[in-house]
Chains A and B, each alone.
Chain A
């Protein structure tokens, strides 16, 4: 995962806050099953909101360090893992 890369939330994914949980719900494509709905913890939600195609992953990691009490290495690893999961589930796209 390139830390200097930029990622953008795909269109057709609705973010919802329900009962203290943050959900990602696909809007288009195939009929949605519960398995297609994703739930994010506060860190995931923090990252998701910043995947705007403008910020690099590095810049987002800096924001994580500023917001959460976490070491730089851990923040970088967690952010990379999370974005990889999003890519695997077609929820974000990498910009060229």
Chain B
């Protein structure tokens, strides 16, 4: 007897999805990945971590990116992010995007939107992305353009957002919270609301990939960041649900307890594959190794690293709220064992805020 006939079933089945997630982890399937097609950008954002300007000649060619897409497809990647720098800066972006879409990925694109010309808009109409996430740093040109470093960028970004929304492309806005825009944040949220799109912001600012600590000076005080986060009841509620769902879950023995190198990966413009964007101490090159070999060998040891003795995060009940990330620690402090004091403080304040409001405080 052939079992059932539910061969074609929409994946709205929670149990199926949970089972698949478990299998993806058990089998170490690289289910989610990002391809930084370039680190070049047409903007000059004050907080950017990818400022080093790799020459185009050092970047993988369009053909090499297609080979990379074939390789991660064969390895089981479903969610693929095309990012940068500014990915639309590459003249061959449409071809790479089309190839990824036609290969059966759920493709997300991170962009500043300023280069989304009619051809790009049409491309996204013909082959809809899973999501386009656009960076918006202010609700006005004065704020946004000051951060982006290029006059006129706000207007172009806004036009792109509206053109994409008009044709039904799924768009989400995001921002980085910093000293240059924290007063404008409520207005950015209002703008997103008026456009009918989801919006998220992040207070995490880290040094550049080449080690320049300059962007860190733009961080807002932790208390200010948490006040802005919790000012929105919906966002506070999301934090609470997240905390309720995962609080008390077992703290693993490994230093990394996320999906980094387990079911996520990141490829930089030169073809170096990392466990994720934040982790820089394990990598392999697609120019000298196949993805499958590198995935099996280069990241295996990395996942086995145990929590070092004395790491104060071990057993910390605020760990769910601070964005715990040893990769981030290494970028900020040069060691995976030295936590970010800034994010630690934010985690504590988030906890206090959620705890006090739950008890009528």
CB distance A39 to B11 under 8 Å?
A: yes
| A70 interface residue (CB < 8 Å to B) | yes
Report how far A53 CA is from B11 CA in the complex, Å.
Answer: 27
Per-position binary interface string of chain A over residues 72-96, scored 1 when its CB falls under 8 Å from any chain B CB and 0 otherwise: 0011011001100110010100000
| A24 interface residue (CB < 8 Å to B) | yes
| B303 interface residue (CB < 8 Å to A) | no
Point out the residue from A19, A40, A81 that lies within 8 Å of B23, measured CB to CB: A19
Report how far A34 CA is from B78 CA in the complex, Å.
Answer: 11
Point out the residue from A17, A31, A41 that lies within 8 Å of B128, measured CB to CB: A31
Chain A residue total in the interface (Cβ 8 A): 42
> Which residues 99-144 in B have Cβ within 8 Å of A in the complex?
101-106, 126-131
> Chain B residues with Cβ under 8 A from A85's Cβ?
5, 7-8
CB distance B104 to A31 under 8 Å?
A: no
Chain B residue total in the interface (Cβ 8 A): 38
Q: Is the interface of A mostly helix, strand, loop or mixed?
A: mixed
Q: Which residue of chain B is the closest to A77 with respect to CB atoms?
A: B5
Report how far A24 CA is from B29 CA in the complex, Å.
Answer: 18
CB distance B11 to A35 under 8 Å?
A: yes
> Chain B residues with Cβ under 8 A from A3's Cβ?
none
CB distance A32 to B76 under 8 Å?
A: no
Report how far A43 CA is from B4 CA in the complex, Å.
Answer: 10
Q: Which residue of chain A is the closest to B24 with respect to CB atoms?
A: A19
Q: Which of B5, B23, B128 has the most CB of A within 10 A?
A: B5
CB distance A86 to B127 under 8 Å?
A: no
Point out the residue from B10, B76, B129, B168 that lies within 8 Å of A36, measured CB to CB: B10
> Chain A residues with Cβ under 8 A from B11's Cβ?
34-35, 37-39
Q: How far is the CB of B291 from chain A (nearest CB, A)?
A: 15
Q: How far is the CB of A30 from chain B (nearest CB, A)?
A: 6
Q: Which residue of chain B is the closest to A40 with respect to CB atoms?
A: B7
CB distance B10 to A38 under 8 Å?
A: yes
CB distance A39 to B16 under 8 Å?
A: yes
Report how far A20 CA is from B78 CA in the complex, Å.
Answer: 13
Q: Which residue of chain B is the closest to A34 with respect to CB atoms?
A: B11
CB distance A82 to B7 under 8 Å?
A: yes
Q: How far is the CB of A55 from chain B (nearest CB, A)?
A: 17
List residues of chain B with CB under 8 Å of any chain A CB.
1-12, 16-17, 20, 23-24, 27, 29, 31, 73, 76, 78, 101-106, 126-131, 168-170
List residues of chain A with CB under 8 Å of any chain B CB.
14-21, 23-25, 27-32, 34-41, 43-45, 47, 64, 68, 70, 74-75, 77-78, 81-82, 85-86, 89, 91
4 additional A-B pairs beyond A34-B17, A39-B16, A68-B2, beta carbons within 8 Å, are A18-B20, A43-B7, A44-B7, A78-B2
